[in-house]
Structure 1
Amino acid sequence: MTPRRKKRLSLVALVLLGVGGATALFLTAFQENLILYHSPTEVAAGKAPVDRTFRVGGLVKEGSVARSEEDLKVRFTVTDTKDDVAIVYDGVLPDLFKEGQGIVANGKLNGDGVFVAEKVLAKHDENYMPPEVAESLEKAGGKPPHSMARPEGN
C-alpha cells in the first residue's frame, strides 16, 4: 500500500470515528432528555422507572389535596379511576389546579412510591384534557367528566 493511500485511509477512518462519536453523543443526550408518560395504573404496576424523570397524569382525586401551613408543599392524589398515585409538589400550583380536574406532572418516584413532582400542568379550559390523561382514563375503563371529554373525531 502506498503512503498516499495509507494517509487517505487514515483520514476516512478518522472521519467515520468522528461521525460515530457525534452520533453516540447525540443519542445519549436525547435519551437522557426524553420524558415518557405513564398512567397511574402503569405506576402502580411498577412499569414506571424509579430513577428517571417521567410524566404522570390523571384526575386530581376529590378530597385528596392537603396543603402545608409552613411552606408551599402540597400533597394530592391523581387517579385514572382504576389506580391512584400520591404526588408531592413544592411550589406554586397553576391557577386552574383543583380537585376533579385533569393534570400532568413531571417528576420522579421516590423510594416510598410517592411521585415527587418538579412541575405540575393543569388543563387550560373546560373542553380540554391532555391527550395522555384522556387515553389512560379510557384504558382504565373510567370516563372523564363530561366537560373534559375529548371532541368526537380526535
Structure 2
Amino acid sequence: MISTIANVIIPAFSVPYTAALLFPVAGISVLIAETAVFKLTHQTVAWWKSAFLVLGMNAVSTVIGFIISAFLPDGLESRLTGSGEHAVWISQPGDNWTTLMYIAFPVAYVLSILIEYAVVRMMKQIPIDRPFRTVAFANTLSYILLITVSYIWAEYIW
C-alpha cells in the first residue's frame, strides 16, 4: 500500500484566495478597508449595507477564484520516495511555483474587479454610483493591504 503524506500545500494560483484565510488579520483588514471605501464614497448607504455588499461580493469572488484556479497550473511537483510498504508520495512546490504565485496576484486582482463589479451591478437594492470605479479602488486598496499584511505576518509574526 502506498501512503500519501502532505503538509498544507497550496497551488500557486490559489495563494491570493488563501492568504486571507491563512492570515486572518489580512482578511479582516481587507474587509474593513473595502467596507470603508464603499461607505465613504456612498455616504447615503448604511454601514451595515456596505459591509453586507462587501462580504457578498468577496464571497462570490473568492468562490469563483478558487474554481478558476483549479484549472490553472499549480506549480506543484509530486514524487514517489521510498519503496515497497514504505513508499510515500510527496508533493512540494516546484521550480516555477514562486513565479506562478507572483503571476496569480495580478490575475486575481483583475478577476476580483470584474466579478465584484458584476455582483454590485446585480445588487440593485444598494445604490452605488460609478460601481466600476468604486470596486476598482476598493480592490486596489485591498490587494495592497492583503500583500503587505500577509508579508509582515509571514515574515515577522508567524
TM-score (norm 1): 0.21
Higher RCO (CA 8 Å, separation ≥ 6 residues): 2
Structure showing the higher helix proportion among its residues = 2
TM-score (norm 2): 0.21
